[in-house]
Every structure is written in structure tokens, then in C-alpha cells.
Amino acid sequence: MKSNRKSYADKRRENVIVGLKSLGEKLYEHMLNGVFPWVEMPSRSIDNIFYDPELRQYVLGERKVRRSAGNVRHISSFTKLVWTAFFVKELTKQKKTSTLRDLYYSAQAYEMSFKDQSESDNIITDLETVIGYPREDFNVFPEERSAVFGDLTIEYNVPGYEGRRMNLTSHPDGVMIGPALTYADFVSTKADKVIAIEKGGLFTRFIEEQVHKKFNAILVLTAGQAPRATRTFINRLNSELDLPVYIFTDGDPWGMHIAMVIISGSANAAHLRKLTTPDAVWSGVWATDIVDYKLPSDKLTDRDIKRLHELAKDPRYKGELWQREIKTFLKIGKKAEQEAFSRYGLTYIVDEYLPTKLESAEA
């Protein structure tokens, strides 16, 4: 499985360093040529974001924006971008992590006066756009943590743990996906699929009912909308280990969209790749499941209905399954949660629903 000696983390780090160096060299070159240094990057404004049916994700179009030190209106954001590149280089070199919040405060030590955190967050997104890698690759992580459980042996790369291995069945509450696990190497697995689950309660139920053994699966808890590190992790399970991915969410427009963001990403990340898993499958809870399984359900709210009409027009939802389910939701006017299967006993979801759904997806 490990095709070469370089760890996954080292490769990501090198990519970032190459990107940062190339940025720095350009700036030096400009100055040596006697011009004000500038940076060019694809525009992230709404009218430059397109859905790419080939890549099955949002991408940025051709339009570019340029920030120049020679333009008084640009000089502040240009300087902040260069400082952020410097800060991030230090993080990467020292193998330290930071949050977006930390970065905002760290800037104050350098008298980089960001108006507020949304300004510094935006500069980080600029830097992602310039060098083409997500901020997690240069060690800037969000707060949220999700988890994973199943037969996968990983090898750590973080300082003090280099070369140490862990099997992800070691902790029966699930192993937290933080910076260390996100960039660990995958050593070996006997699993033949990945099952992603929206809610912690069901994740624990699946572990207790040994879904990982019975279905030979690696279980991933998304804990609501999956953090980007978790989406990267799912992408890696799919692309590096060649494992099919099945996603189980609540049966409502919000659950459906949790699945969609894992599959096709979000417009916010149109400037990035490798955060999506286009071949992942949304396996339930479908609107048609609510009917077929006579699930306890709640009435759709006005907000739910509005959201469904939005999704119906979204290019990511063009496929037959999605359109059918959106229509069914609107027709029955109902939604149901994953836990609704408990109506048939706590293990029904594992004994009956899950195998039926996996079979139909594999067929």
C-alpha cells in the first residue's frame, strides 16, 4: 500500500513549501526587476464559480485578480498575504499547528492589524488559492473533530510519534480525527468499504453491533457537516485504498446535503481539489425509505421546503436519485431521523436496513 518511502505528511508539506517558495521567488524577481511585487490568483467571486460535471465539483473559472504592492488600495491585503505566507512557512517548518483564531491573534505580534477574524480567514483562503492546497496542509486546523473506527493500521508522522503505529479499532469510542490522524500514513487494512455516519449515537451503535466486522467496514463519524479534515480523510480512504464509500444521514434536506458536501464539495472550496469523493454514495435515510419502512416522521418545516427547492436547482443535485428523493420529500411533506429505525428495535438498522441498502448500492 505504501508505494514509496515518503510519508503522506511529508509529501503534503513539500507541496506547500514548493508553493510558498515559488510565491516568494516571484516577489523577489519583481523587485529585482524594479517593479512593485504583485500576486495573481483566480477570482473567487460568485460569477467565477462553476460546477464542473467532469470533476463533479465546483471549480473557479478563468477570471483572475491581481494584488499589487504598487496599488494603494491593495497594499494592505498584499502585505497581509505575504505575512501569512511567512507565518505558515514557520508553522510548516516547525511542524506546529494553529487554528484560524490563533493566526488572527498571532498577527498582532507583527502589527498586522486585521480588522477582525473574517479578514484573516479571508487572507488564508487567498493563500489556499495562490498555492492550491487547503489550509490543513499548512497546519491551520479548525476546531471541530470527528472520529473513525475500523480495521486500518496507520503510522503517525507528528513529532514524537514518528513511525508509531495504531490500529483504528484500538479505542472503542472511536479515534478522533485531528491533525495527527489526518496526515498519518495508511499502512494496512482488511476492510473493503467505508461507511460514513452523521450522528454520534448511531456511530456508537454501529461499533457495539460490530458493523465493522459484520460488514468489513471502516466507520467514519462526520458529526454533522463533515469538517474538511474528515472530507480529506474520506477522500484518502477512497483514493489510496480504493474503498467504496457509503454515507448515512438523517432523512431531510440537511442530511442529504451533508452527504453531498462529502461527494461534491462546496462552492466555498471551489479553489481546492482532493476534498471531495465523487464516487461516494448517499445510501439513506431517503425520502422513499420513510415510505417503504413506515418510519416515524416529522412534518417538513417551511425552512426545509425552501431548502429542498434550492437543492432541486443546484447543479450537484442533477442526478436521478437526488431529483427523485427531493420530489418524494416534497410530495410526502415529511422527514425522518436515523434514530427513527429504533421504532423497530435498537438493532433493526444494523440487522435489516443496512444490509439491504448496501446490497442495493453494490448491485
Site for a second copy in 232-291 (CB under 8 A): none
- 111 makes contact with a second copy (CB under 8 A): no
Report strand pairing: 146-149 vs 217-221: antiparallel
Name which position in 118, 210, 239, 268 contacts a second copy (CB under 8 A).
210
Count of residues in the chain: 363
Distance (Å, rounded) from C-alpha 181 to C-alpha 183? 5
Q: How far is the CB of 100 from a second copy (least distance, A)?
A: 9
State the minimum distance, in angstroms, from the CB of residue 133 to a second copy: 20
Q: Is 205 in the site for a second copy (CB under 8 A)?
A: yes
Q: Closer to a second copy by CB, 21 or 171: give it.
A: 171
The minimum distance between CB 22 and a second copy, in angstroms, equals 26
Residue 25 has a CB neighbour count (10 Å cut-off) of 10
- What is the rounded (10 degree) CA torsion for 202, 203, 207, 213? 100
Active site residue 105: yes
Q: Which is nearer to a second copy, 39 or 147 (CB)?
A: 147
| From 65-73, 262-270, 316-324, 344-352, span contacting a second copy (CB under 8 A) | 344-352
* Residue 214 touching a second copy (CB under 8 A): no
**241: Cβ contacts below 8 Å, ≥ 6 apart:** 1, 152, 186, 189, 191
The three-state secondary structure class of 156 is coil
Answer for the pair 275, 134: CB distance below 8 angstroms, yes or no.
Answer: yes
> Using CA atoms, how far apart are residues 15 and 92, in angstroms rounded to an integer?
11
Rounded Cα gap, residues 285 and 267, in angstroms:
24
Q: Contacts with a second copy in 70-99 (CB under 8 A)?
A: 96-99
Strand partners, 153: 167, 188
Catalytic annotation, pick one of 28, 51, 104, 105: 105
Residue 118 interacting with a second copy (CB under 8 A):
no
Q: Which is nearer to a second copy, 96 or 309 (CB)?
A: 96
Is residue 200 close enough to count as binding a second copy by CB under 8 A?
Answer: yes
333 near a second copy, rule: CB under 8 A: no
C-alpha cell at 281: 454514495
Q: Which stretch binds a second copy (CB under 8 A): 9-17, 120-128, 164-172, 274-282?
A: 164-172
Binding residue for a second copy, selected from 121, 151, 339, 352, defined by CB under 8 A: 339
- Tell whether residue 156 is a contact of a second copy (CB under 8 A): yes
User: Site size for a second copy, by CB under 8 A?
Assistant: 53
Q: Which residues contact 226 (CB under 8 A, 6 or more apart)?
A: 146, 196, 234, 258, 261, 262
The reply on whether position 206 binds a second copy by CB under 8 A is no
For a second copy, the closer of residues 141 and 282 by Cβ is: 141
Assign 166 to helix, strand or coil. Answer: strand
When binding is defined by CB under 8 A, the residue of 112, 181, 211, 269 that contacts a second copy is 181
Report if residue 190 touches a second copy, rule: CB under 8 A: no
Question: For a second copy, which residue of 25, 105, 301, 360 counts as binding (CB under 8 A)?
Answer: 105
* Nearest residue (CB) to a second copy, 83 versus 141: 141
Relative orientation angle of helices 302-313 and 320-332, to the nearest 10 degrees: 160
- Cis? peptide before 285, omega within 30° of 0: yes
Enumerate residues 287-316 that contact a second copy by CB under 8 A: 296
Residues 6+ apart with CB under 8 A from 318: none
Residue 240 — φ and ψ, nearest 5°?
-80, -35
Q: Does 216 bind a second copy (CB under 8 A)?
A: no
Smallest CA-to-CA distance from 126 within 80, 89, 95, 58 is with: 80
Q: Parallel, antiparallel, or unpaired: how do β-strands 146-149 and 140-141 relate? A: unpaired
Contact present, 116 and 74 (Cβ < 8 Å):
no
Work out which of 15, 216, 344, 361 binds a second copy, going by CB under 8 A: 344
Chain residues that interact with a second copy, rule: CB under 8 A: 96-99, 101-106, 108-109, 141, 143-145, 147, 156, 158-161, 166, 170-181, 199-201, 204-205, 208, 210, 223, 296, 337, 339-346
The residues assigned a catalytic role are 105
